Structure 1
Amino acid sequence: METMSDLHIRAATPADLDAVLAFWKTAAEGTSISDDTEGVARLVARDPESLLLAEDGGELVGTVIAGFDGWRCHLYRLAVHPDRRRQGIGGGLLAAAEERFRALGGRRGDAMVLDRNETAHRAWRAAGYAPEPQWSRWVKHLDG
């Protein structure tokens, strides 16, 4: 998809799923009900271009899920390896995600960001994102 110096950004394939899940345990804040092989495989099967990986020399250093449902652009799991933060990897992933959204006709990206994750707040703000205080996330677990 995009190359920035030694950084290469590409869509994940089914062969990447175990590495992505292991990476998230190191680099991502919090967990999700879908953080398992079946959940991520379903994502990649349904929208093969949605899970973007940043690699440096073949090493996974960052991820973002850039999901588009035909109506809205959703960003999840922006994660950069702790040893590689503040090197432009997150910005490169977001630029690739936004490029994808524009190509699909998307008009606005929204991101799921944990309230307690101040490090993420700074990164998202630096990329031009801001919280919308008039909205709250409402959820219902569908597992039973």
Structure 2
Amino acid sequence: MWTATGRDVLPRAELEAKLTRDPELFLVIELGGEAVAMTMKTFDGRRGWILRLAVHPAHRRKGVAARLVDELESRFRQLDCPRANLLVMPDNAAGLQFWQSRGYLPLPDVLCSKSMLAGRS
């Protein structure tokens, strides 16, 4: 799925850890036994985070992503999550347009990141 969408492939260990931590926030849509869309989210008790959303190119513009977002927002509400955040890659104009059409607005925050893998032996 990730390869078909042109984004980084997530390591199997990362996917398994996510499924173990909060499986109710990992959604997959299947058609004919094939995964055509998926999304990973997390909730830290304060904010919901949409970590990934991918729709296979052959199934885009058919409402699949909207269905996933509707369901994930419902699940966030069930967790009493007051706000959901997400990141959009700067080169993903279609993604940004999709999220804005769903009411997600860009903020002037500065993203800071640090790898926790550095220095591991």
Q: TM-score, normalised by structure 2?
A: 0.91
Mapping of residues 1-144 of structure 1, within 5 Å: 23-27=1-5, 29-31=6-8, 35-133=10-108, 135-144=109-118
CA apart distance, 1:136? 1.5
CA apart distance, 1:41? 0.5
Structure 2: gaps of 5 or more residues: none
> In the alignment, residue 8 of structure 2 is paired with which amino acid?
T
* Secondary structure at 1:49 match in 2: helix
CA apart distance, 1:57? 2.8
Structure 1: gaps of 5 or more residues: 1-22
CA apart distance, 1:56? 2.0
CA apart distance, 1:137? 1.1
Q: TM-score, normalised by structure 1?
A: 0.77
Aligned equivalents of 1:114 and 1:46: distance in 2? Answer: 25
Identity %: 33
> In the alignment, residue 116 of structure 2 is paired with which amino acid?
L
Aligned equivalents of 2:111 and 2:89: distance in 1? Answer: 11
Q: Give the 4+ runs in structure 1 shifted more than 3 A.
A: none
Aligned equivalents of 1:44 and 1:50: distance in 2? Answer: 8
**Aligned Cα RMSD in Å?**
1.3
